[in-house]
Chains A and B, each alone.
Chain A
Amino acid sequence: MSQPIDLETIERKAYSSKFRDGLHDIQIGLLLVGAWALLVDFTGDTYIFREAMPIYLLYCLVISTIPWLGKRWITARRMGTMKPGVERRLKIRKAGVVLALIVLIQAFLVLLQTMGIIQVGTDHLLFALGAGTIVFLPMAVIAHRNDLIRGYVHAILVGMTVTLIILLDTGAPLLWSGVVILTMGLFIFIRFMIQNPLPDDTPVSEEE
């Protein structure tokens, strides 16, 4: 059957345009750089400094407000806002279920490892690849939910980061991937600001 108007493509374009301001990329980049700065033990024995975890979680909380605040005060006034249609809301709900399942499986695996039921050597290549995949999967689901190609790049970079941390026994990959994603986000954000100046006399938008 002919398709004179490709509504699926239009919907994808409309929804993914929410991310064209680069704030999502900046958030992920800052989370990775922050993880490197706050969690890595530079003294050498181990690459994770567990005592700093509460500070890092607080940092994550602050950083997670960036897309919301940025849209509210800066970018929504330049690109407008939309409420997703029925199809997209269904897709978001489905992705939520898949994400919840992945998190449950991850928690179960960690529990089995903690209880000593499964024994995996942390210096093992398979363990490194498995850990990378476990981090890659939820991020790929989010990228699929958002129809965001860059999201898959983030997922691959972060998955590789976890694998490399284990294989090389250093926290440096957090900084490498964090800087790459942050730079990408800043570039997209600056380009967006240049291409979308704030008009004086047109209606403004309020992010929902």
Chain B
Amino acid sequence: MSGTEGSPGGINRLIHEPARLMIMSYLAVVESADFLFLQSQTGLTFGNLSSHLSRLEEAGYLRVEKKFVGKKPNTILSLTATGREAFDRYRRQMMEMLDEEEA
């Protein structure tokens, strides 16, 4: 799933959605983060964040590692190489588009 089907200028619509863009941005600047960190940074609800993470994981952008701390689950999230590449491409395209607007 590329997320670019039918979108103007080949912009990745999967990443372009505001909540997912926020998630991708946070994960792009760290090596990894856990679910709770991402939730506290983005301000998304548990269910909302889970659903967006599932979409990104299905696209192969996200690596999800589940482990236990004591008896409680701890989910570690990081971008895959594909995810980083897609995010970099998205940023480049957006910058080009905005530069064209300014010119």
Using a CB–CB distance below 8 Å, which chain A residues touch chain B? 1-5, 7, 10-11, 13-14, 17, 77-88, 196, 199, 202-206
Contacts and interface: CB of A to CB of B under 8 A. Distances in A.
Contact of A82 (B37, B73, B75, B95): B37
B99 to A, nearest CB: 5
Interface size on B, as a range, is: 20 to 34
Interface in B27-44: 28-41
Contacts of B32: 82-83
Given A84-B30, A85-B30, A5 B36 contact: no
Contact of A5 (B21, B35, B41, B70): B21
B94 interface: yes
B46 A202 contact: yes
Contacts of B40: 17, 78-80, 196
Contacts of A82: 30-34, 37
Contacts, number: 95
Contacts of B35: 80, 202-203
B interface, over-half SS: helix
Contacts of A87: 29
Interface in B64-91: 69-70, 72-75, 91
A125 to B, nearest CB: 45
A205 B30 contact: no
Contacts of A204: 36, 69-70, 72-74
B69 A80 contact: no
B34 A84 contact: no
B102 interface: yes
A14 B29 contact: yes
